[in-house]
Amino acid sequence: MQQAQRCTIIAIDLGTSATTSQWALAVDSFNAQGEMRRRILRSPIEMRAWRGARKGDAIGNICLPTDLVYDRASKKLLCMGFQAQQYLDDPSPDPARETVFVVEHIKLLLNDPKYAKVSPETAARYHNKRNELVQTLGKDPYEVFEDFLDGVIEETIGEAKMRMPNALDNSKLELALAFPSGWPDLVHRRVAAIGARAVQKALEIHSLQSMTFGIQHVYTLSETLCGVKEWLTATIEEAVISLDLGPQTSNLDELNVSFKFASNLDVSVDVSARRVICFSLLISAVARDA
């Protein structure tokens, strides 16, 4: 029987104009049949301490703007998120506006416009924006997206460490990334790889190399499988996950997913939501190969 292990779960909703992030702490244990029981030690916490966010806001803003500001000459990232928003709102910014290049809605540039389900006019606009980005920064959209996700994950892990200083050491880390349904597997794989690299960088920055993490701990899922956080978090205290030791996938779009409650109520999920939240999916989903 495997030994119980703490697990830190980070879930990120990769929105178009804003991104949200949450984390939760759980403990995983296995019975003799190989079934894993995940018990929540701490309820999901919304990331609010973004750099540049208003310190005096008692409620806090969980929605991080996805804007990035680069220096045209050096090609370096100057700021992102709330700091980029403050720069763009400044009538007399420093450095001057003509010396920077602003990237908006980077998520929309990841999927090749030739294969995106958009109008020809929209596809042409995305194609032009991708070309402008490459010509100006010498980076493709995935490299710019990596700059953004690096910041999101580094700030999230840093805040989690500050709030739970002793809980992260020697625990496992899982990362869930949610973005639009219908995107090809290539996008899922590349985004998962970017997320894995971002986590490794953040763990080194925050001296958390003792955590167990690898690409196999990254999950991608579409918005159609999310949006149930509000009632799941309030209802579920623990769930049982049956593990299939056969071939696995980290793309949850390829799985049949249901939610099992303490009351034994089993509800299949086919929910489309405006706001994608992934935590309860990983904490309480019963995932089996399609």
Percent of the chain topping pLDDT 90: 43
Q: Would you say the C-alpha torsion 161, 195, 130, 133 has a positive or negative sign?
A: positive
> Following DSSP, what letter does each residue of 33-50 receive, concatenated?
TS-EEEEEEEEEEE----
- Is pLDDT of 34 > 50? yes
Question: Among 91, 123, 144, which residue terminates a domain?
Answer: 144
- Is pLDDT of 131 > 70? yes
Question: For 73-92, b where at least 16 C-beta lie within 10 A, e where not — what string?
Answer: eeeebbbbbbbbbebbeeee
Its domain, for residue 76, covers: 64-144
Question: Among 92, 121, 144, which residue terminates a domain?
Answer: 144
My answer on whether 40 and 80 are in the same domain is no
My answer on whether 114 and 128 are in the same domain is yes
My answer on whether 132 and 94 are in the same domain is yes
Nearest to 212 by CA among 34, 5, 40: 5
The single-letter code of the amino acid at 69 is V
Per-residue confidence (pLDDT) for residue 148, from 0 to 100 = 98
My answer on whether 123 and 249 are in the same domain is no
My answer on whether 53 and 68 are in the same domain is no
Lowest-confidence range among 15-24, 145-154, 280-289? Answer: 280-289
- CA angle (69 as vertex; 18, 139 as ends), nearest 5: 100
More confident residue, 30 or 238: 30
Kind and range of the H or E run holding 174: strand 172-179
- Is pLDDT of 198 > 90? yes
More confident residue, 93 or 252: 93
- Is pLDDT of 84 > 50? yes
Question: For 128-153, b where at least 16 C-beta lie within 10 A, e where not — what string?
Answer: ebbeebeeebebebbebbbbbbbbbb
- CA angle (194 as vertex; 192, 200 as ends), nearest 5: 105
* Whole-number Å distance between alpha carbons of 150 and 124: 29
Q: Average pLDDT for residues 100-107, to the nearest whole number? A: 95
Question: For residue 128, what pLDDT band results from cuts at 50, 70 and 90?
Answer: very high
**pLDDT tens profile 228-272:** 333 333 333 333 333 333 333 444 444 333 333 333 323 333 222
My answer on whether 71 and 126 are in the same domain is yes
SS percent in the chain: helix, strand, coil, step 5: 35, 30, 40
User: Which residue in this structure is represented by tokens 């999230």?
Assistant: 156
My answer on whether 122 and 166 are in the same domain is no
- Is pLDDT of 29 > 50? yes
Q: Average pLDDT for residues 168-192, to the nearest whole number? A: 86
Q: Are 173 and 215 in contact, with CB atoms under 8 Å apart?
A: no
Kindly report the backbone phi and psi dihedral angles of residue 74, in degrees, each rounded to the nearest multiple of 5, phi listed first.
-90, -15
In this structure, what token pair is assigned to residue 70? 């680069």
Q: Average pLDDT for residues 11-25, to the nearest whole number? A: 90
Per-residue confidence (pLDDT) for residue 281, from 0 to 100 = 44
My answer on whether 259 and 176 are in the same domain is yes
My answer on whether 53 and 86 are in the same domain is no
My answer on whether 203 and 251 are in the same domain is yes
My answer on whether 175 and 118 are in the same domain is no
In this structure, what token pair is assigned to residue 270? 């086919």
My answer on whether 131 and 172 are in the same domain is no
Question: Among 104, 126, 144, which residue terminates a domain?
Answer: 144
Per-residue confidence (pLDDT) for residue 233, from 0 to 100 = 37
Per-residue confidence (pLDDT) for residue 284, from 0 to 100 = 41
pTM of the complete model: 0.78
Question: For residue 70, what pLDDT band results from cuts at 50, 70 and 90?
Answer: very high
Number of domains, the chain: 2
User: Which residue in this structure is represented by tokens 């929309």?
Assistant: 108
Q: Are 16 and 107 in contact, with CB atoms under 8 Å apart?
A: yes
